[in-house]
């Protein structure tokens, strides 16, 4: 995956590339671009991971580019692009599972146990997330 900076902000492409690589995407060229519009394009076979990247970056859907090599992705960060604050975290959660649309939801909290018949203690007391001790 190539990440190119069309915005001119120092380190923008490096920051985004590092975050995406941390999520399992394979790093390619990192540099500057004369293109000033944000775009994600992909070669044959890379539609799913390109889609995952656009969702992580919050940019429009990717487009196919027959001039790109098979399984390759090009990301151009255009004028005014700002990466999401939690990009590195979200990319790691995605774990490069390109068909996933978002990180898996957290499991629901377990319900407190029901008191046993005749139990004088009753249910546990909660202090807004702080466990209470009798």
Strands (E), the chain: 2-5, 30-32, 39-42, 63-64, 73-77, 126-127, 130-131
What domains sit in the chain, N to C, each tagged with a CATH number? Answer: 2-94 (3.30.70)
Q: How confident is the model at residue 109 (pLDDT cuts 50, 70, 90)?
A: low
pLDDT average, residue stretch 104-119:
55
Both tokens assigned to 110: 């377990």
Compute the mean pLDDT over every residue in the chain, rounded to the nearest whole number.
82
- pLDDT value at residue 94: 75
In angstroms, the CA 116 to CA 100 distance is: 42
Rounded to the nearest 5 degrees, what angle is found at the Cα of 22, between the Cα atoms of 13 and 4? 15
- pLDDT value at residue 68: 96
Does the pLDDT value for residue 35 go beyond 60? yes
Strand partners, 131: 126
What's the pLDDT tens digit per position in 38-63? 999 999 999 999 999 999 999 999 99
- pLDDT value at residue 92: 84
Q: How confident is the model at residue 36 (pLDDT cuts 50, 70, 90)?
A: very high
What's the pLDDT tens digit per position in 61-100? 999 999 999 999 999 999 999 999 888 888 888 764 544 4
What's the pTM value of the predicted model, to 2 decimals?
A: 0.70
Burial of 46 (C-beta count, 10 Å sphere; 0-12/13-18/19+): buried
């Amino acid at each position: 995956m190539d990440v190119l900076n069309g915005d001119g902000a120092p380190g923008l492409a490096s920051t985004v590339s590092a975050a995406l690589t941390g999520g399992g995407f394979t790093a390619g060229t990192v540099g500057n671009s004369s293109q000033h519009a944000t775009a994600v394009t992909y070669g044959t076979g890379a539609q799913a991971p390109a889609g995952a990247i656009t969702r992580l970056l919050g940019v429009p859907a990717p487009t196919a580019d027959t001039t790109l090599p098979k399984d390759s992705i090009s990301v151009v960060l255009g004028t005014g692009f700002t990466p999401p604050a939690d990009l590195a975290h979200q990319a790691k959660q995605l774990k490069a599972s390109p068909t996933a649309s978002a990180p898996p939801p957290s499991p629901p909290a377990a319900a407190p146990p029901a008191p046993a018949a005749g139990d004088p203690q009753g249910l546990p007391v909660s202090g807004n997330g702080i466990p209470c001790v009798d």
